[in-house]
């Protein structure tokens, strides 16, 4: 039985991949997974099977759950040497590569009610990798503006060097890896593909081993929840910054609350597997305040969000990421896999909850969310690095109730940050058309103010899919290369 699906993603090829699997009988989970796989081929500067995945899923008529497929640092990581080398983690390179979680995350999502086979869901992505994809505006811009990243690594240079928007590029090694995953996804962690990847990582200087890959599992857990805008909202728990989104959602003074939540997150977010995390503090349920902590490297490129809801009420919002543009700046040539640099988010402070230690998962910016009311299911997610909580909080009310959710994603937005948005000092970055009162509030918070010339990547790439009163709608942010459709 064919079911209609609302799907939004930051590249048309991803939506077309979803269209193909829906036509073959897939549901929202199949569509989202096919789109996510296609994005690892056509948007390699933002996501890869060498990255991580966090999702929130609601099976039709069921209770939402969170999927955390966040990879850990190598057991053999030399923490002491990194502390001697500097006060911060490297921005990229082999020591920032943690175990990739995307493939295990796909498997966990599929297990929640996907209908089709791995071969069906990955077929569009394999075709794009083997037959060729067209360089999008976003990919072409990244190759053009970050030649230092692309040309410095032989693997990246061989595939992407010199490409321009409109060119066609093929990735035969990646096609072979995706084909192997379609046959048996576990090969990525415990089979031939994992052994090849581990050997390639070792050659690149990474301490990750076959044992590190084999130890990875995706975590299915209860999401954090909050009530706002007449809906129940769901977000992933730590090491995701989902608590920060829920802390600011529905705030009457969103900018001031976001600044408080930003400071709390930078001080408190870490991996609950390696030590206690103060979730109440992240949710701003305590009166405690924190001193500013300098933000880490700017996550240009960052992430992709995919949102899907079907007519049966199955909903998924997933985000997968290589963190910075082209991640660690490494493409392992034997497998064709771009590696993420999520390890750059670790703190080298031994007292910080997000401290680097063997087997620890880094603090994560990925912040997908779902909302439920009596007759509405909303899947919401965005690219936007550390600013995802306040980006989503600005979009949430209209995404939930506006007759056309595209009005929610096109409206001007603001973000706050420092190095993560390209400034040395903490700054409020405004798109044109926002109220003057925001600048006045920023002054009271000690923030510099900058207004961009127009809509800007730093304001995020929001994706929306919704079922409301029996009607499916979707919207994709015009700041990206994407599209949305009801399939």
Burial pattern 205-241, b for ≥16 Cβ within 10 A else e, equals ebbbbbebbbebebbbeebbebebbebebbbbbbbbb
Active site residue 303: yes
Cβ atoms of 34 and 348 closer than 8 Å: no
Per the CB < 8 A criterion, the answer to whether 444 and 255 are in contact is no
Query: Residue 327 CA to chain centroid, in angstroms?
Result: 12
Active-site choice (40, 96, 142, 303): 303
Is the Cα torsion angle 348, 353, 359, 362 positive or negative in sign? negative
Helix axes 12-23, 118-131, angle to 10 degrees: 140
Give me the residue label for tokens 């390209």.
Answer: 422
Closest CA to 352 of 340, 367, 341, 363: 363
- Round to whole Å and give the CA distance between 27 and 114: 7
Are the CB atoms for 481 and 138 separated by under 8 Å? yes
- Helix, strand counts (H, E) of the chain: 18, 20
Q: What are the C-alpha distances in Å from 54 to residues 236, 281, 429?
A: 8, 22, 27
The number of beta carbons lying within 10 Å of the beta carbon of residue 418 is 21
Identify whether the C-beta of residue 108 lies closer than 8 Å to the C-beta of residue 69: yes
Q: b/e string for 166-199 if b means 16 or more Cβ within 10 A?
A: eeebebebbbbbbbbbbeebebbbebebbebbbe
Cβ atoms 4, 487 nearer than 8 A? yes
Order of all β-strands in the sheet with 414-417:
414-417, 427-430, 448-451
Residues forming the active site: 303
């Amino acid at each position: 039985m064919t079911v209609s699906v609302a799907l939004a993603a930051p590249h048309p090829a991803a939506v077309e991949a979803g269209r193909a699997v829906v036509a073959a009988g897939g549901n929202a989970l199949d569509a989202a997974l096919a789109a996510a796989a296609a994005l690892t081929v056509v948007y390699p500067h933002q996501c890869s099977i060498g990255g991580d995945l966090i999702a929130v899923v609601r099976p039709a008529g069921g209770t939402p759950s969170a999927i955390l497929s966040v990879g850990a640092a190598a057991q053999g990581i030399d923490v002491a040497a990194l502390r001697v080398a500097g006060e911060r983690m490297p921005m990229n390179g082999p020591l920032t590569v943690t175990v990739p979680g995307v493939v295990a995350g796909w498997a966990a999502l599929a297990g929640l009610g996907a209908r089709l086979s791995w071969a069906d869901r990955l077929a569009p992505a394999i075709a794009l990798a083997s037959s060729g994809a067209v360089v999008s505006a976003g990919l072409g811009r990244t190759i053009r503006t970050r030649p230092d990243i692309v040309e410095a690594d032989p693997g990246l240079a061989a595939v992407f060097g010199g490409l321009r928007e409109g060119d066609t590029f093929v990735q035969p090694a990646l096609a072979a890896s995706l084909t192997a995953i379609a046959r048996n996804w576990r090969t990525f962690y415990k089979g031939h593909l994992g052994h090849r990847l581990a050997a390639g990582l070792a050659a690149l200087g990474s301490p990750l081993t076959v044992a590190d890959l084999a130890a990875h599992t995706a975590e299915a857990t209860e999401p954090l929840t909050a009530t706002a805008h007449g809906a129940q909202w769901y977000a992933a728990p730590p090491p995701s910054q989902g608590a920060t989104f829920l802390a600011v959602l529905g705030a009457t003074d969103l900018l001031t609350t976001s600044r408080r939540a930003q400071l709390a997150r930078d001080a408190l977010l870490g991996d609950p597997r390696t030590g206690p995390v103060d979730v109440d503090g992240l949710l701003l349920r305590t009166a405690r305040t924190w001193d500013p902590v300098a933000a880490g490297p700017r996550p240009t490129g960052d992430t992709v969000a995919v949102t899907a809801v079907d007519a049966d009420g199955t909903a998924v919002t997933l985000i997968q990421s290589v963190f910075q543009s082209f991640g660690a700046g490494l493409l392992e040539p034997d497998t064709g896999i771009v590696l993420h640099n999520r390890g750059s988010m670790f703190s080298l402070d031994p007292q910080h909850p997000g401290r680097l230690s063997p087997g620890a998962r880094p603090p994560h910016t990925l912040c997908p969310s779902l909302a439920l009311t009596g007759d509405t299911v909303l899947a919401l997610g965005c690219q936007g690095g550390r600013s995802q909580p306040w980006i989503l909080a600005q979009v949430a009310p209209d995404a939930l109730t506006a007759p056309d959710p595209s009005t929610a994603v096109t409206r001007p937005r603001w973000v706050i940050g420092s190095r993560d948005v390209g400034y040395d000092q903490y700054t409020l970055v405004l798109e044109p058309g926002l109220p003057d009162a925001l600048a006045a509030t920023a002054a009271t918070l000690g923030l510099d103010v900058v207004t961009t010339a127009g809509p800007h990547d730093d304001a995020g790439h929001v994706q929306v899919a919704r079922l409301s009163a029996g009607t499916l709608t979707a919207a994709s942010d015009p700041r990206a290369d994407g599209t949305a459709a009801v399939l």
